[in-house]
Amino acid sequence: MTPDLKAEDLGLQEEEPLDVLDLPQLYTRPSAASLLFTLSELQSEPSSWASTPWSGDSRAISGTSTPYTRRRKVKSEGIPAYLTKIISSALQWIEDDAQKEQIWETAAHELSVRSGRTAQGDLTRSFTIPLSASDIHSLVELWIYEPALTADNLGHKTWASSFMLAQRLCRLKDDLPTNSILELGAGTGLVGMAAACVLCTHVVMTDLPEIVPNLERNLKDNAEIIGATGGTCSSAVLDWRNPECLVIDEQRQAAQSFSLIVAADMVYSQEHPRLLTTTIEYHMRRTPDARLVVEVPLRDAYDADLDILRCELANIGLTISQEGSETGIDDWSSGNDDQPTDVKCWWSVWKWS
């Protein structure tokens, strides 16, 4: 039997993190190349949350291995101050103005990344979604554009529960109908696009008017990728206060038209459980195979609202057929820490009792 390999067997033992004082200091007048290299080593790219695992394997979308690049870690203490010094320095010893601009811009970008998601501007990130529960090589990579985030437009962010539900769909699909699918609160569109790819079908994705334009952008950017799996998507405006006002192809959608409804992270207000339940009751077919699939983060502040949602869904005749909890990561941050945070989520599949 082959013994278990350890990191040191592969030459990957962890090195002692560098201190910020080990980086090129401005008083030494480091070259532009040296500063740019240092900034590249400090970069925190927009996360695809690949560390939220679907399986133990991390693979490139092509099925080929992604080369492992070792990057010496740097202690986070002092990095914001180091970046601020670079941004505020005239860099007088560097003669090339273009190089100076590149240094300033790179340092400013990295400082914004380390200041939390709300401090960042627009970004595009990728999410790898499994298409099969049995074939770890069967994957699709979706690209999500997120505009600069503001507190009153949280639908422009891809939340951890959305990624986790998107990854879970391949393990639920044997119990899910594959026709007439509706997503509520689609946000950036990850769950609905994943459903279209995994179930090889059409998904109608809905949200509020201010969210839909960015949703449509993501659908357009991923249309070819989704189409290659046999899926398609469309978007529409839907306000839960008026669930009957869903217009598709210039026609108002009839009640009880959808066999499958999916939704993620849709309860963050006291009124949401009632509004969401009313919308589900209006649009979900009354058939034995009809299903509702939801995933929500377990937030202390909204525990009561989640309990109300469970009661509301039960009151209209829905019952849980499957449920569970899982932990993923999220990059919602107010600053002072560039590391993603663990988020525990609850997922459930509902059917008519």
Taking the C-alpha atoms of residue 215 and residue 64, their distance in angstroms, rounded to an integer, is: 31
Q: Which contacts of 216-220 are long-range, i.e. CB under 8 A and separated by 24 or more positions? A: 217/145, 218/143, 218/144, 218/145, 218/188, 218/189, 218/193, 219/189, 219/193
What digits encode the pLDDT tens for the residues 27-38?
Answer: 999 999 999 998
**DSSP one-letter code for 27:** G
- With H, G, I as helix, E, B as strand and everything else as coil, classify residue 343: strand
Burial annotation 313-331 (CB, 10 A radius, 16+ → b, else e): beeeebeeeeeeebebbbb
Taking the C-alpha atoms of residue 144 and residue 133, their distance in angstroms, rounded to an integer, is: 23
Residue 154, pLDDT score: 53
Domain 122-352 CATH assignment equals 3.50.50.60: no
Half-sphere exposure of 183 (CA within 13 A, CB side): 31
Q: Which of 57-61, 92-96, 120-124 has the highest mean pLDDT?
A: 92-96
What digits encode the pLDDT tens for the residues 154-169?
Answer: 556 787 899 999 999 9
What is the CA angle 108-114-216, rounded to 5?
Answer: 85
Q: What are phi and psi of 309, to 5 degrees?
A: -60, -45
pLDDT band at residue 13 using 50, 70 and 90 as cut-offs = very low
Cβ-based burial of 57 (10 A; exposed 0-12, middle 13-18, buried ≥19): exposed
Q: Which two tokens stand for residue 214?
A: 């960015």
Picking from 16-30, 172-186, 217-231, which range would have the lowest pLDDT averaged per residue? 16-30
- Which are the contacts of 323, defined by CB distance < 8 A and separation ≥ 6? 346, 347, 348, 349
Q: Are 247 and 253 in contact (CB under 8 A)?
A: yes
Taking the C-alpha atoms of residue 114 and residue 80, their distance in angstroms, rounded to an integer, is: 8
CA-nearest of 225, 241, 149 to 187 is 149
Picking from 42-46, 213-217, 331-335, which range would have the lowest pLDDT averaged per residue? 331-335
Q: Are 197 and 226 in contact (CB under 8 A)?
A: yes
- Whether the per-residue pLDDT at 95 is higher than 70: the answer is yes
Domain ranges of the chain: 13-59+73-114, 122-352
- Whether the per-residue pLDDT at 315 is higher than 90: the answer is yes
Residue 212, pLDDT score: 95
Q: What are phi and psi of 292, to 5 degrees?
A: -120, 130
